[in-house]
Amino acid sequence: MAEAKNVTFDSIMRDLKARKYSPVYYLMGDEPYYIDKIADYIAEHVLQPEERDFNQTILFGSDVSASLIADTARRYPMMSEYQVVIVKEAQNVKNTEALEKYFKAPMNSTILVMCHKNGTVDGRKKEYMKAILSAGVLFESKKLRDRDLPAFIENYLKARQVSIDPKSTQMIADNIGADLSRLTGELDKVILSLSEQDRRVTPQIVEDQIGVSKEFNGFELRDAIVNRNVFKANQIIKYFDENPKAGSIYSFLPMLFNYFQNLMIAYYAPNNKSQESVAEWLEMRSPWAAKDYMTGMRNYTAMKVMQIISKIREIDAKSKGLDNPNTPPGELMKELIFYILH
């Protein structure tokens, strides 16, 4: 399948803010957040409010044909430099031949935005993809990996002149997960709660605004496991067992898998005795970020780490019902933590 090379959300937004427009924006992928952000920005900023009545059209892919979209895009703007055509649910457009023809000769006075969610264009439609690429911007909006959530949270807050400590970041990431629309909504709520004098997010603020316990959360569980603190880990697991809404095996398995997978990789660092070397090997932003992996290598042998990764996979399968007719999630979590720590 043809690829949209070097096109990122940030690069698209930079060009849009500089009023450097493309005739076509084909936005596709499994993460609706970025697709909505780009489409909403175009809808709100390309035209002046008084120009929108005659020059901004919203269509829905399930209700229109490719021919109608192409015909709409070929219209000239009225008393405006551009017309904007936004097609929502573009994944539902059938028989795309008319659109392919339009993409090969798009109108420079039209900004056509195709919002194709929950997947990408069929890779077998090579000519269609080629036509999109020749017409303008092809962007794939991918789901963020769990390990990328802390950086997303930090950058989102930094752009709004707000700082956050690592514990608070992990508390939010573990509790909300990779639903970026919900995540940014919660972050906005946290930002509104801050005073102008103190723009820092702390564990107490996260507990107050999002409802995550600052003592019993994924960050503290990970810390207890890294340091092989059996008492603390069991306290947290007991709390989660008694308060299912506070956390579950489904939110903690990816976190534990990522940690031990990276710990296994750290063992293969050219100089795994050096925190700087391990950080570079794991492609971390600072040596400080590798501290937990240095501690982990002191507390877990490479063989034990391999066994833990295998156990996490086994528990993951059981949590999805494979070879496990009735063991509740809380018991599976206890089984995993006991295995890790003993």
Asked if residue 5 has pLDDT above 70, the reply is no
Whole-angstrom CA distances from 335 to 230, 305, 317, 332 are 13, 16, 14, 5
**∠ CA(20), CA(22), CA(28), 5° rounding?**
120
Q: Using an 8 Å Cβ cutoff, are 20 and 49 in contact?
A: no
Chain region(s) in the chain for CATH 1.20.272.10: 215-342
Chain region(s) in the chain for CATH 1.10.8.60: 144-214
Per-residue H/E/C for 138-180: EEEECCCCHHHHHHHHHHHHHCCCCEECHHHHHHHHHHHCCCH
Distance in angstroms (rounded) separating the CA atoms of residues 195 and 17: 29
Indicate the residue type of 202.
T
Q: pTM to 2 decimals? A: 0.70
pLDDT confidence band for 3 (50 / 70 / 90): very low
What pLDDT does residue 220 have?
Answer: 85
Distance in angstroms (rounded) separating the CA atoms of residues 221 and 237: 8
Distance in angstroms (rounded) separating the CA atoms of residues 153 and 29: 21
**In degrees to the nearest 10, what's the CA dihedral of 104, 108, 113, 119?**
30
Share of the chain above pLDDT 90, in %: 57
Chain region(s) in the chain for CATH 3.40.50.300: 9-141
Considering the domain 144-214, what is its CATH architecture? Orthogonal Bundle (1.10)
CATH number of the structural domain 215-342: 1.20.272.10
44 C-beta neighbours (distance < 10 Å), count: 10
Helices 180-193, 203-210: axis angle to 10 degrees equals: 110
Cβ neighbourhood burial of 119 (10 Å; 0-12, 13-18, 19+): exposed
Q: Which of 12-21, 204-213, 294-303, 332-341 has the lowest mean pLDDT?
A: 204-213
Considering the domain 9-141, what is its CATH architecture? 3-Layer(aba) Sandwich (3.40)
